[in-house]
Amino acid sequence: MGRLRGGPEKVLIDDYLTRFDATGRPLALGPARVVEVEDKRRRGRDAEADLLLSHVPAGAAVIALDERGKTLSSRDFADLMARLRDEGRPEACLLIGGADGHGRAALDRADVKLSLGKMVWPHMLARVMLAEQLYRAASILSGSPYHRD
């Protein structure tokens, strides 16, 4: 949910997603794309959930960011990405809800509810962290030294 204008966060996201695409391609991961949606009429969480879910392709895995979700290590996140790929899921959609979180439909549709920790993060930083974790996951799966245990 929401729009990310230009700025340092966008530069970081673009950089990490470019790295992810290059590292993930040989692993059958990616390419990554960002789909931004906005409920300009501010109709609430349920309307936002419907809007988000309208962009989820058939058969895609849905990973919803939720403060009550599971916290995963970077290696566990990489394993999740590999498992979804190996199960033949055509895409993995990582959903970031609005300021009040996800509506029930998005949480019910989620294959995984993921938490970035006990702290709440603004959208722009959550996007940066997810983009970096996608790149880190591809790096782990490729055996790159980027991730150190």
Nearest to 50 by CA among 1, 4, 121, 122: 1
pLDDT digits (tens, 9 = 90+) for 51-106: 999 999 999 999 999 999 999 999 999 999 999 999 999 999 999 988 888 999 99
**Model-wide pTM > 0.95:** no
Q: Which two tokens stand for residue 92?
A: 């993995």
Q: With beta carbons less than 8 A apart as the criterion, state whether 4 and 13 touch.
A: yes
- Note the pLDDT of residue 85: 97
Single-letter amino acid code for the residue at 73: S
- Note the pLDDT of residue 66: 94
- Note the pLDDT of residue 56: 96
The CATH fold assigned to 8-142 is Alpha/beta knot (3.40.1280)
Q: Kindly give the residue spans of alpha helices, DSSP state H, lying in 25-145.
A: 45-53, 74-86, 104-109, 123-142
* pLDDT of 1 over the 70 cut: no
Over residues 113-125, the mean pLDDT reads: 92
pLDDT digits (tens, 9 = 90+) for 31-48: 999 998 877 677 788 989
